[in-house]
Amino acid sequence: MACARVPLDEQQVTEPGPLGKERTLPALHPDRTEERCFVPYKPPPEDGSPADVEEFLEHARFITEDLEWLLALPHDKFWCQVVFDESLQRCLDSYLRHAPRGLDLSTLPSSPAVADMQRSIHKAVFLTFLRMATHKESKEHFFTPAVFGEIIYENFLFDIPKLLDLCVLFGKGNGQLLHKMIENIFTQQPSYYNDLDETVPTVLQVFDTILEKCGLQCEGATAAEPMKLNAHKKPTAMTMSQQELLDIILYLCDSTTTINAFLDIFPAACSSFQSHGFLSSLTSFYETGVPDLEKAIRKRNFDDKSLQEDLWKRLSHSCRKMVETVHLLLHHTCLQPILEGRENMQTFAEELLQYFTSFLPEKRFLTDYDEQFPVADDISLLQQAVPIIDETRTSYLLQGVESAWDSVGRRKPQSQIQTSQAQASASLSANQGPAPGAAASSLAGSKPQEVREPAEGESPRGAEAMLDVPQRGNNGAMCPVIGAELESLLSCIRDLLPDLGEGFLLECLKEYNYNSELVINDILEDRLAPSLAKLDRTMPRPVKEELPAVLNNRSNVFDGDEFDVFRREQVDMSRIWKGRRKGENVREMLNDKRHVAEQKARYHAYETVVDEVIVEPGESATAYELDDYDDEYDDTYDMNQVGANDLDGDSLLTRRPFTVPQVLRKANKEDEEDEDEDGQEEDASKGAVNRDQFVQDPAVLRERAEARRAAMQQRKGFRPERSSNVVGRPKGQGQTTETLLDRRKKETNKSRGANHNRRSMADRKRNKGMIPS
């Protein structure tokens, strides 16, 4: 076996050969590779259908088990598998290529099983790459550093695209491990620096491609090559298809996020990016391409509004990452050497000021950068570390930043305004500050400012595509200027251009997002937008329709009462007081009988009742308001023709013969017996129940009880139990399930009833009168 304290690349192992004969092989040899097929990775399904989810879980389980098996191998077996197993490299590459990024996680199905499996694969892949980037696992298991660098470089175990993907996938929460891992790779194999230098122009080509797709000509391309004749026929962001716009936004978002993550984790790469003019290209793209993409997303008609919101979110995220990338490059290439007190601090300070000066023409980018990372703070650091900086130049830069805010029509946050004022006052005493070395040492621990990630439901801030928008609400909608501020803008323009109508100026202000300077400039140079050029320049201001008064349309139960101040000019204030009325006494209140006098008039009509009125001869009863009604006359039968329909008038005189009541008759046994017999026969003919019978028929009682029980159950919605059937079919024909269940139930419950309680049932019948005692 392998000897201790010998690098793996120099170890020799003895193993049985194919014919059973032992042979000596290097520790890293293709014949020592295990036969195992690693399947490629597939991302989680977006629709979340059960079949696709099940397929993903099974596929991901294979990958997780294979990678866990790989990580459990000893040092020599692990590296044989990594170097010579091509299926393993395809599996790892597929994960780096197709694994969901940060913004893609919200679109994945919310299945706990899928999330847990994705986390398992994520962890296994990261641990695999971490072990692959480690050349010394212990004192016994290690590589010669030069050989390790050659192995990972020649076998393409790592390259610049893989490192970029590793940073964007695993950078959150694993920044220190990734930093050590990538630093070890570049340290053991310096050729990766050459690869990085060759990669930066390709990264810059990303922004040129996006500008070309949007029909925009980059400044660098204009100087390098002439514009093609058919360049004007290329589609723009407003005219291209919706799918092409979606692809461009996704491409931009992925590229900017990946570059920012790589530079944040491996700051040593900033010098390579800086040497290729990455800063100037990025800021130029930001100023040229971002407003065009924003305008396309805002003004195009999307069938799916959620898609429009997602595109805006991704573009805002891309802008924020571009601003952070610029800050990282400036911090690690200019500010950090100054804060660490390196040599040639004046050179680094001059370079930083030169970069800020180059940002001044890029108004949009400068305002977004200053919103996230105030330029005044960086200049303050410079003044403390390098006191010999020209104050006139710094003042010029700060004024340029303020001018950029004004030119884009946005307002600087109040906190930054206060900070700028404090910096301006502090700059007066900058020459009396501490020594350069002391300032540099006190600021050496300073780190780049971190940007707060927007919370869920909060619109992204910072470089969030806010060109030509003075203010935005929480939902991203534009807040128009109204009131006194709008009147001030109109009067400012009319002082210079009095012949223009206020209606026309209002439309211009809306188009230019209430930037009066741009409106005046474009009107004077006749460069108004086509939609404004067609308008009448003397168009008056539209008259606002006055809304009807609310009091005229209101409806209230107290309308028109004595306290309705909206309809009465005078109200008796003596009847209105607050709290308990002053001077009010209980005795006086009880003695106040004014309400009794008010009720007398109501009952006056019922005061006198006249029983008889004597009418003199010649007078009419109407003079006394009398009528001919006679209360003693009964008019019940006035409408009935009594006897008109009788056949025989004498029948009215016939009466029913008088009969002595049975109670008053004398007792006569024979008559009573006859009557009893007649009554019994009559009752028997009618089928009535003999109420004198002491013991009734039990069958009849059971029928009545069953009828009452059925009626009660029907009212309560009770379903009666199925009747028991224990007889079943004849032998040999088989029994149904119901019969078997009834037999089992009878067998279980027969001890509870049956004939085991004869005495209690007999007592019960006797108590009910069913058995003569």
Q: What percent of the chain shows pLDDT beyond 90? A: 23
* pTM exceeds 0.75: no
Mean pLDDT in residue range 90-114: 82
pLDDT for position 654: 54
Q: Spell out the domain ranges in the chain.
A: 8-188, 197-217+236-408, 486-540
Mean pLDDT in residue range 257-264: 93
Main-chain phi, psi angles of 760, to 5 degrees: -65, -35
Say whether pLDDT at 460 is over 60.
no
Say which residue the tokens 């004198």 belong to.
692
First-to-last C-alpha distance (Å) of the chain: 110
Say whether pLDDT at 455 is over 50.
no
Strands (E) across 584-679 are located at none
Evaluated on CA atoms 48, 49, 53, 59, the torsion sign reads negative
Residue 469 confidence class, pLDDT cut points 50, 70, 90? very low
pLDDT for position 108: 63
Mean pLDDT in residue range 581-600: 79
Of 533-537, 568-572, 689-693, least confident by mean pLDDT is 689-693
pLDDT for position 93: 94
* Model confidence pLDDT, tens digit, residues 216-239: 864 444 444 555 555 556 678 888
Say whether pLDDT at 213 is over 80.
yes
Which residues are within 8 A (CB) of 190 and not within 5 positions of it... i.e. 6 or more apart? 149
* Cα–Cα distance measured from residue 514 to residue 485, given in angstroms and rounded to the nearest whole number: 10
pLDDT for position 411: 72
Mean pLDDT in residue range 498-522: 84
Helices (H), 300-435: 305-330, 336-339, 345-359, 363-372, 375-385, 391-407, 414-427
* Cα–Cα distance measured from residue 142 to residue 282, given in angstroms and rounded to the nearest whole number: 42
pLDDT for position 10: 87
- Residue 472: DSSP 8-state: B
pLDDT for position 194: 93
In the beta sheet, which residues pair with residue 12? Answer: 26
Average pLDDT of the residues of the chain:
78
Helices (H), 85-140: 86-98, 112-132
Q: Are 264 and 178 in contact (CB under 8 A)?
A: no
Say whether pLDDT at 505 is over 80.
yes
Residue of higher predicted confidence among 468 and 135: 135
Determine the Cα angle at 418 with ends 412 and 421, to 5°: 105
In the beta sheet, which residues pair with residue 13? Answer: 25
* Cα–Cα distance measured from residue 149 to residue 704, given in angstroms and rounded to the nearest whole number: 103
**Best-predicted range by mean pLDDT among 234-243, 321-330, 410-419, 517-526?**
321-330
Best CATH choice for the domain 486-540 from the list 3.40.190.10, 3.40.50.300, 1.10.8.10, 1.10.3470.10: 1.10.8.10
* Model confidence pLDDT, tens digit, residues 144-183: 999 999 999 999 999 999 999 999 999 888 888 899 999 9
* Model confidence pLDDT, tens digit, residues 356-390: 999 999 889 999 999 889 998 888 888 888 878 88
Of 113-122, 123-132, 552-561, 661-670, least confident by mean pLDDT is 661-670
Mean pLDDT in residue range 41-53: 85
Say whether pLDDT at 618 is over 80.
no
pLDDT for position 757: 67
Tell me which H or E stretch contains 445.
none
What letter represents residue 121's amino acid?
A: I
Helix (H, G, I), strand (E, B) or coil at 14: strand
Residue of higher predicted confidence among 190 and 232: 190
Mean pLDDT in residue range 415-429: 50
Of 38-42, 197-201, 682-686, least confident by mean pLDDT is 682-686
**Best-predicted range by mean pLDDT among 317-331, 505-519, 667-681?**
317-331
pLDDT for position 713: 85
Q: Which two tokens stand for residue 112?
A: 């706990």
Of 55-64, 113-122, 719-728, least confident by mean pLDDT is 719-728
pLDDT for position 153: 92
pLDDT for position 490: 83
Mean pLDDT in residue range 313-327: 93
Alpha carbon 275 to chain centroid, angstroms: 43
Say whether pLDDT at 689 is over 60.
no
pLDDT for position 349: 87
pLDDT for position 467: 32
Beta strand 12-16 with 22-26 is antiparallel
Q: What percent of the chain shows pLDDT beyond 70? A: 74
* C-alpha distance from residue 462 to each of 324, 403, 407, 481, 768 (Å): 10, 18, 17, 22, 94
Of 22-36, 130-144, 413-427, 722-736, least confident by mean pLDDT is 413-427
Please provide the DSSP assignment of 270-335 as one string. HHHHHHTTHHHHHHHHHHHHHHHHHHHHHHS--S-HHHHHHHHHHHHHHHHHHHHHHHHHHIIIII
